[in-house]
Structure 1
């Protein structure tokens, strides 16, 4: 198994001191890098494992923080924090840009070869980075199909892949259609994968606290969605020896 090293990195964003999880692949040379955005609950073990799995594949990976080092397991508290954030594209961009700057500044990162992926709120942040014109090679979002301000999707400079559960009440067909229309009208190279029978956050393993209605794990589709993310990175950001 490839040796992966990890460390916590602190940086300011959104008026908070964020603590991200950086995972580095073996070796000393520069590698393509991936920014990973968490679900609305915030950075937790699932996102840390994803960063480490990408480092195993040869990427520098940074799972970024949303809540100043806190994990919001209470749905009410999470929504009170995330809904205003999701309604404010400039705040989302600030959160994403701060983490992206940290990732680009890492000596192992090839700053010209960076992608952003995310889940839920973290996926919406990844999309806003694209709408802000960030220099990214790929954007992937699961459950984060938030439409942006009119015309700004034209700034997206890379392929976009999105995944969503067919039974997700938070991202219903009307939201999916608005998102795909936005991407198409902007001339973006986009793809949407709909996972049949899956609810919101289907990719996330079961949690030890109460899940809101419409949220549920789907193990088979969770594996497929991860493979789809890896395939996106392999296509747009291949790791070379």
Structure 2
């Protein structure tokens, strides 16, 4: 456990997908209940990038759980990452299982207001956030970057909260055809949805450069990374304010 003047962090372990997941929980100062945010990583898995984002959310007043995908492993080999993530992305029930396990973990935290939870995710983590919504989980907001994925027919109608998605205009993994299918799914389901397209950005544009090989079409865009983070924070401020307005 690590405590600073403003936040406390600790590692949490919980079972999911036949593995022992190792997440990163960040708590704001104080002892009162707060809204909570699940934060899912790119397909490579949980790294210090997501841990720092969870810490930043805790500094804003949220309980934040950066959840795990691979049982404590970070898959730096692109082939190994794809071998695990592609079957996972093709299996909504597996994605929901991983998401529900993280959801149960954050709900069990005494600081969490269990009725005020959002899910934010990047890549595979974003697809999991969307599947929680399609599975009917009562979330206050869903935000995804690099995850304009579609679900099983008709299930998007179960989404009960606003959905924000961000994607790079030059992302070959989430090309216009996939973006269009995603927005058509959201529109047909009557979801309150928004799509932000960041001009000139590739896949994983939000993620700082890594010291290992990556799949083609990945590239960091510092300016859009900052913009996407501000958009995520704005989504939370709108849909999951730290202080609930009794007159709202």
Q: Taking structure 1 as the reference length, what is the TM-score of the superposition?
A: 0.99
State the alpha-carbon separation in 1 of the partners of residues 15 and 113 from structure 2: 23
d(CA) in 2 for partners of 1:122, 1:144? 8
1:198 aligns with 2:201: yes
User: What does 1:60-99 align with in structure 2 at a 5 Å threshold?
Assistant: 60-99=63-102
4+ runs of 1 displaced by more than 2 Å?
none
**Structure 1: runs of 5 or more not aligned:** none
Q: How far did 1:140 drift?
A: 0.1
* Mapping for residues 110-125 of structure 1, pairs under 5 Å: 110-125=113-128
Alignment RMSD, CA only?
Answer: 0.9
Contact 1:23–1:62 (CA<8 Å) still a contact in 2?
yes
Query: 1:202-227 CA distances to partner (integer Å, 9 max, x unpaired)?
Result: 00000011122100000000000000
Aligned partner of 2:192 in structure 1 is 189
SS of residue matched to 1:29: coil
Query: Structure 1: how far apart are the matches of 2:222 and 2:210?
Result: 13
Q: Aligned pair 1:42/2:45, yes or no?
A: yes
Which of residues 213, 237, 242 is equivalent to 1:239?
242
Partners of 2:16 and 2:147 lie apart in 1 by 20
Is 1:13 the counterpart of 2:16? The answer is yes
Distance in structure 1 (CA, Å) of the matches to 2:240 and 2:138: 13
The residue matched to 2:205 in structure 1 has which SS?
coil
Deviation string, structure 1 residues 156-188 (Cα, Å, up to 9, x no partner): 000000000000000000000000000000000
Look up the match of 1:129: 132
